[in-house]
Structure 1
Amino acid sequence: MSAPAAGVRRPLSPAQAGVWYAQRLDPANPVFHMGGYLDILGPADPDLLRATVAALVAEDETTRLRFTEADGVPQQYFAAEADFTPHLYDVSGDPDPAAAAMRAMRADLESPPDLEHGPLFTHLLFRLGDEHFIWYHRVHHLVHDGYSASIQRRRAAEIYTALATGGDPGTPYGSYAVLLDEQAAYAGSAAQRRDRAYWSRLMEGAEPPVGPAGSATPATPADAATHGPSPDGTVPQGPPAGIVRDVSEVDRSLRDALVGFAERARVTWQQALLAVAVLHRALWAGGSDVLLGLPVPGRVTPGSHRTPGMAANTVPLRCGIDPRESCEDLAARVAAQSLRAQWHQRYADTDLLRDLGWPVRGRSRFGPVVNIVPLDERTTFAGLPAVSHLLSTGGTADDLTLSVTYGDGGGLRFDVTLDAAQAGSVDLAAYRKSFVQLLSSVVTGPPGRTVAELDVLDAEERVLVVERWNDTAAPPEHRSVPAVFAAQVTRTPDATALIDGDRHLTYQDLDTRANQLAHHLTATGTRRGDIIGVLLE
């Protein structure tokens, strides 16, 4: 296949457009850098590593992408062939080679992007010792999505193995230009109309989701510029540019129990985990009509599944909860629903929101996002094991996001993330703890147990709720409500205290307003013991 012509301008995809506008609002912000690294354990050949990276860059048409504007409309085009030479940095003589490599990777992740001149990617190779190498890759979210990272890992392993053994290097990357052609052909097609009809039927009667704190998520500056940037199908985790997160791991035994439950329910363990997320949302937020955001690759043809680029989308996962249903039956229903979503995954979420007449709030779409990152435990470089580590999936997280990857100990790693502007609206540690407890209850319980029979409290919480909170012999606290509130203001002055529509008041704001009202009432002659009327709509 011939390389795409340089200089020919093309429109951005729906997934790219939101990232473009959000980045333009804050040009130096590195939050849209995606990055991670592979730990290659064993006597790798450094020359073959460099040759592998060079071959990847040569195959990947997105390395040539550049972006510009014409009359205020963003466009993309292919520049000349990328002139990139991978370098190997030997940090083996450093007192702490791993820390030295990490400092270099973090510094690169935090560098400001240059959308118009590029390049929008880099690769760094580090030698930590004779039998320990690191391959680091960073790319802007305009160029790649999270799905691209899994394609790249597999392709790199194929190329290195072929170079080392003289074997078949396998099928090269697909063409990003062809992927753009497919996206253009989809617009206005019969396939798009079918997808629209499916999502309209599925979402009939659904209510716009509330934000992570239980009310509407406030609008962001990007809304005015773009009517809300399109999502990217990945889980935000990266540089400290407005994201807070809680990270934890569960051990291999719980993951094995999850696999066993999935076999009983005749679903994959990823689908079983998605069912737990649906159930957890119902218990956390209340209600029986659950709505979650489901990241999808946005690719449907065989060639596009081998093509790195930015094509991902986020679609709604809507599922009702019946307390009388067995956990296995719930998992089967969620699995079927998620598969149907895959069949209609190209319909842009911004188009669906417009069809529904729902407000677009920053990067929030259909409620909390559950992203089970594509994983491959068997990545090897000519037999040498390579362990993947995610540093940043690039983006913001207006709504709550749960990302699942493999943990270092063979279990599962859970990342619960939230935009820093929403920090304080959700106790992320409590959210994660309750999720893991529910997961354990679902997968370790007896077969056929119903949703209503699940134990959602761990031992510590059960003591708190059943015993301590019901201990009528406990001495009362002799503190007034104003005193308790004043103590809370001192502890968390910047945490959200009240939400009214799109308005948020911190504890400090509320305290200031209450004092202002008190002074006003005193000035008008109000005295202790007077009755004050309060008008509520």
Structure 2
Amino acid sequence: MTTGTGFGSLAAAWAEQSRYREMPEFARDRAYWSEYLREAPGAVSLATRTAPASAKLLRIAGELAPATVGQMRETARRVRSIPQLTVLAATAAYLNRITGESDLTLGFSVTGRTSPLLRNTPCAVANVLPVRLAVRPGTTGLELARQAAEQARRGLRHQRYRYEDMRAGRAGEPLFGPHVNILHTVSDLRFGAAVATVRDLAFGPVEDLVIAVREEPGRQRVHVELNANAQRYDHDGLAGHQRRFLHMLRSLVAEPDRPVGEVDILDPAERHRVLYGWNATTREAPATTLPDLFETQVARTPSATALVFEATELSYAQLNARANRLAHHLIGLGAGPERAVALVLPRSVDLVVAMLAVLKAGAVYVPLATDQPAGRIELLLRDVDPVLVLTTADGHGTPGGGVLRLDDPRTHAALCRCPTANPTDRDRRAPLTPSSAESPRGLRGRRRRRPAARRADRGLLLRHVVGGSAADGRRPRTAPDQ
């Protein structure tokens, strides 16, 4: 049905859409999308903030070079698709590289004009379809473009089913983050002698990010615009995404047989900024030690909260006093400069106190995660050859040799007899980093040779810490966290 202007009537278009919801086709489309989305992951976004859909947008546009447009067309030809769908593939590749997510759902805008009447009626019937894509480390750009084409073709057969209905079936949760909108526009319009230029002012409310792809018919020009929810993105962040995304798109179509996991998403300028500009942090270091800095803060704010763990809270003065008692005790047991103290402790107040106490004693601490396999702990202890091992009771063996159990009543009694004053007559050393401490050779360059008698006691030390050793034929066990 058409009006006197040659256009279809809005009433007829509305009636056609209403009839669709009563037809078997509607039930088939609903079943298709219900199954398609049944195990779909949640929406994955590039945004760092959450906010509702907004009509306030940030827009950044870029134009692709003719050579890139030609490569898009060649990639599309190989997968029997249209060039613009390579943007859908590039969006999935970029989202994967930024977020690390492998199973992605993107949005894909369609006209929704599935009948002659709807194609001839000036009304809004556009829809957004979810497109699920899987990006694995070895997935090539061509394979991803083929996925995008196949998934889009499948969805187009059921495009009349509204996105609003799909979302209602998922408790109102968004189905995707970014979505791609392919637009066919002309740059110039003529009305007699008058020439007009087409400009899109807005897309309406945008929930997350719309990547608009505009191709001017008859021209080797493609524009890519990022239209972002201004409440979720800021201008600088969006500009960075636009720059990296276009770099990903160009790389994907230039080398479509290359795995997307090997594509460098940073252009040379940004790579130089990340590696060198952001690391230009050279500054004069104060001629002091970490214990000195901590003790200065203790003197400045003794009553301020320094440490909170679960229900325990310590002020700077309390933490300093506990660390000082333990430091004096460690010094008496042989800890000091050029010597290592291993910490086989769970995350706790005791762990922080022990780290600070070892530094105050002038030694270096070597933290060992308690959830590591016993064999790994044994290997590290053999390599580090610590003067002491600080740990907790595990019910295996009797403390002896170089093991100090912090929850042993005898240790508690010994600490109560130690002074709370800051140790001042020992050279202090900065700790090794956890990464170097856990490396099999992390401490080799820092330790000095131990007396032979202490090396002979090492087997006993290992048995008390890990519950056994190769020497006594028992399988080593880690002490359970208390």
User: Which bracket does the TM-score occupy, shorter chain normalised?
Assistant: 0.5 to 0.7
Please state how far the C-alpha of 1:194 moved relative to its aligned partner.
0.8
Q: How far has the Cα of 1:339 moved from its partner?
A: 1.2
Please tell me the residue identity of whatever aligns with 1:434.
R
Distance in 1 (CA, whole Å) between partners of 2:140 and 2:179 is: 24
Q: What is the SS of the residue equivalent to 1:351?
A: helix
Give me the whole-angstrom Cα distance separating, in 1, the residues matched to 2:285 and 2:210: 40
The 5 Å alignment of 1:328-407 reads 328-359=142-173, 365-375=175-185, 389-406=198-215
Matching of residue 201 in structure 1 with residue 35 in structure 2: yes
Cα deviations by residue, 1:163-222 (Å, 9 ceiling, x for unpaired)? xxxxxxxxx43333322111101113211111111111111222331554256x3346xx
Query: What is the match of residue 184 of structure 1?
Result: 18
3-state secondary structure, aligned to 2:112: coil
State the distance in 2 between where 1:387 and 1:259 align. 29
- Count residues with an aligned counterpart: 297
Give 1:268 deviation, angstroms. Answer: 1.4
How far did residue 390 of structure 1 move? Answer: 2.0
Contact 2:104/2:133 (<8 A) preserved: yes
Distance 1:376 1:329, change over 3 A: farther
Alignment deviations for residues 495-536 of structure 1 (CA, whole Å, 9 cap, x no partner): xxxxxxxxxxxxxxxxxxxxxxxxxxxxxx972474344689
Amino acid at match of 1:330: L
Looking at structure 1, the residues matched to 38 and 235 of structure 2 have their Cα atoms a distance apart, in angstroms, of 29
Specify whether residues 378 and 262 from structure 1 end up closer, same or farther in structure 2 by C-alpha distance, changes over 3 A only. farther
Aligned to 2:40, what secondary structure does the other structure show? coil
Q: CA deviation at 1:428?
A: 0.8
Classify 1:211/1:443 alpha carbon distance in 2 versus 1 (closer, same or farther; 3 Å): closer
Q: CA deviation at 1:311?
A: 1.0
The amino acid that maps onto 2:19 is: A
Moved over 6 A (4+): 377-382, 384-387
Tell me: CA distance 1:248–1:444, structure 2 relative to 1, closer, same or farther (3 Å): same
For 1:449, what is the secondary structure of its paired residue? coil
Relative distance call for 1:326 and 1:213 in structure 2 (3 A) is: closer
- Partners of 1:262 and 1:397 lie apart in 2 by 28
Q: How does 1:94-493 map to 2 (within 5 A)?
A: 172-214=6-48, 217-219=50-52, 242-359=56-173, 365-375=175-185, 389-406=198-215, 410-424=220-234, 427-445=237-255, 448-466=257-275, 475-476=282-283
Alpha-carbon shift at residue 280 of structure 1 (Å)? 1.6
SS at match of 2:181: strand
- Contact between 1:295 and 1:370, CA under 8 Å: does it hold in 2? yes
TM-score normalised by the chain length of structure 2: 0.54
CA distance in 2, matches of 1:308, 1:349: 20
Partners of 1:261 and 1:413 in 2: CA distance: 18
1:415-455 superposed Cα distances (whole Å, 9 cap, x missing partner): 2122222243981101110111001111112x522223323
- Give the whole-Å Cα distance in 2 for the aligned partners of 1:308 and 1:291: 30
What SS does the aligned partner of 2:165 have?
Answer: helix
8 Å CA contact 2:188–2:198 kept in 1: the answer is no
SS at match of 1:390: coil
> How far apart are the structure 1 equivalents of 2:25 and 2:199?
35
Contact kept in structure 2, 1:258 and 1:269, CA below 8 Å: yes
TM superposition shift of 1:377: 7.8
Is the contact made by 2:64 and 2:222 (CA closer than 8 Å) also made in structure 1?
Answer: yes
Quote how far apart the aligned CAs of 1:412 are.
2.1
Residue 317 of structure 1 aligns with an amino acid whose one-letter code is V
Task: Give me the whole-angstrom Cα distance separating, in 2, the residues matched to 1:247 and 1:191.
Answer: 39
Letter in 2 for 1:274: L
Amino acid across the alignment from 2:106:
L
Q: Say whether the 8 Å CA contact 1:289–1:318 is kept in structure 2.
A: yes
Q: Deviations over 1:75-101 (max 9, x none)?
A: xxxxxxxxxxxxxxxxxxxxxxxxxxx
Matched position secondary structure for 1:392: coil
Maintained 8 Å contact 2:184/2:215: no
Residues 131-175 of structure 1: CA deviation (Å, up to 9, x unaligned):
xxxxxxxxxxxxxxxxxxxxxxxxxxxxxxxxxxxxxxxxx4333
**TM-score normalised by L of structure 1:** 0.49
| Distance in 2, Cα, partners of 1:477 & 1:416 | 43
CA deviation profile, 1:47-104 (whole Å, cap 9, x unmatched) = xxxxxxxxxxx62xxxxxxxxxxxxxxxxxxxxxxxxxxxxxxxxxxxxxxxxxxxxx
Identity, in percent, stands at: 28
Q: Find the residue that maps to 1:276 and give its secondary structure.
A: helix
Specify the alignment match of 1:27 in structure 2.
none
**Structure 2: unaligned runs, 5 residues or longer:** 287-300, 313-482
Tell me if structure 1 keeps the 8 A contact 2:140–2:257. Answer: yes
Structure showing greater relative contact order (alpha-carbon pairs closer than 8 Å, 6 or more residues apart): 1
The CA distance in 2 between the partners of 1:321 and 1:196, in whole Å, is: 27
Is the contact made by 1:275 and 1:330 (CA closer than 8 Å) also made in structure 2?
Answer: yes
Range 310-319 or range 365-374, more displaced: 365-374
**Other structure's SS at 2:204 match:** coil
Q: Please provide the CA RMSD for this pair.
A: 3.5
Greater C-alpha radius of gyration:
2
Distance 1:451 1:422, change over 3 A: closer
